[in-house]
Amino acid sequence: MKCSEILKYLTELYPLELAMDWDNSGFLIGRKEKEVKNVLVVLDITNDVLDYAKANGIDLIVSHHPIIFSAVKKVTDETLLGNYILKILRNDTSVIAMHTNFDIAGGGMADICSERLGLSNTSVLEITNEIEEEKLGIGKIGDLEREVSLDELIELVKSKFGLKKLAVFGRTNVPSKIKRVAISPGSGKGMYKYALKRADVLITGDITHHDGLDAVNDGICVIDATHYGLEHLFIDKIKSDLDKCESIKVFEFKNTNPVEII
């Protein structure tokens, strides 16, 4: 398959028009008409990822987070991004990013995470799009299969997302039994406002000291499962999608989490 054919396939599943205005999803680096045999799926592009790509003859990297977010005025070996781009071009590798379009699209990040928790009666946390009267957006709110305590919910999140540790803000803000929860994979800065008075707990990532203070004082509990902790499900889903293309071999690289909570 060509890069352009893989891009077309992925964007039919996760349309680029759903992406947030500030995002930079899509075909970012390389040759669209390059023939692709080996594809690597990752959350982030790092030096370790690029070394792995070179060693395994990877033609195309499909990442969740765009390697290029804003305008680039020069590409040299004097910057980290410049070195990334030079390595990618030197190895004749192409790059596609499926970011907020994947987060928002039906069957994408929001749906995967809510299904992982077994949520029912779901609705969108932050509505960003409406297509044929279907509301789409960032995150989900829904009901757990049964009422649980906060400690039980914490263990459920750890189990379902393969996590060892979590951070909790506002433990005293939760009722004795929790039924309705919100989940917003990735960076949850400010997302607690969409969950206020709609959910007992918000599960998200990247909560800073001041974000946590604001959430606690506004009366909601937030579980910080880290940015990587929830979004790593992207890798399995995109690999599963691409495995349906018989002419390519799909690799995955999962060890890009920069956070280790001891």
The tens place of each residue's pLDDT in the chain, 262 residues long, gives: 999 999 999 999 999 999 999 999 999 999 999 999 999 999 999 999 999 999 999 999 999 999 999 989 999 999 999 999 999 999 999 999 999 999 999 999 999 999 999 999 999 999 999 988 899 999 999 999 999 999 999 999 999 999 999 999 999 999 999 999 999 999 998 999 999 999 999 999 999 999 999 999 999 999 999 999 999 999 999 999 999 999 999 999 988 788 877 7
Q: How far apart are CA 83 and CA 76, in angstroms?
A: 7
* Same domain, residue pair 155 and 187: yes
Alpha-carbon distance of 136 to 122, in angstroms, equals: 12
Q: Is 33 labelled as part of a ligand binding site?
A: no
Let me know whether 93 and 173 are in one domain.
no
CB contact at 8 A, 29 and 60: no
Helices (H), the chain: 3-13, 47-55, 80-90, 100-104, 109-116, 150-161, 192-195, 209-218, 227-231, 233-242
What is the extent of the structural domain holding 183? 106-230
Q: Do 60 and 154 sit in the same domain of this protein?
A: no
Amino acid at 74: K
Residue 53 within any structural domain of the chain: yes
- Output phi, psi for 224, to 5 deg: -95, 105
Q: Is residue 192 part of a domain?
A: yes
Shared-domain flag, residues 173 and 193: yes
Task: Give the tokens for residue 111.
Answer: 């749906």
* Together in a domain, 94 and 46: yes
- Looking at the fold, whether 95 and 110 belong to one and the same domain comes out as no
Phi and psi dihedrals of 131, rounded to 5? -120, 120
114 in the same domain as 67: no
Amino acid at residue number 185: P
Residue among 214, 18, 208 at smallest CA distance from 100: 18
**Are both 110 and 195 inside the same structural domain?**
yes
Looking at the structure of the chain, the number of domains it has is 2
Q: Is 103 annotated as a binding residue?
A: yes
Q: Does 195 share its domain with 130?
A: yes
CATH code: domain of residue 134: 3.40.1390.30
Q: Is 227 annotated as a binding residue?
A: yes
Secondary structure (3-state) at 194:
helix
Instruction: Give the residue among 136, 218, 139, 106 at the shortest CA–CA distance from 173.
Output: 218
Pair (90, 148) in one structural domain? no
pTM check: above 0.75 = yes
| Amino acid symbol at 145 | E
Q: Clarify whether residues 79 and 186 are in a common domain.
A: no
CA 227 to CA 246: how far, in whole Å?
A: 32
Q: Is 132 exposed, middle or buried (0-12, 13-18, 19+ CB in 10 A)?
A: exposed
As given in the structure block, the two tokens for residue 140 are 């989900």
207 vs 212: CA distance, rounded Å? 6
**205-225 tens-digit pLDDT:** 999 999 999 999 999 999 999
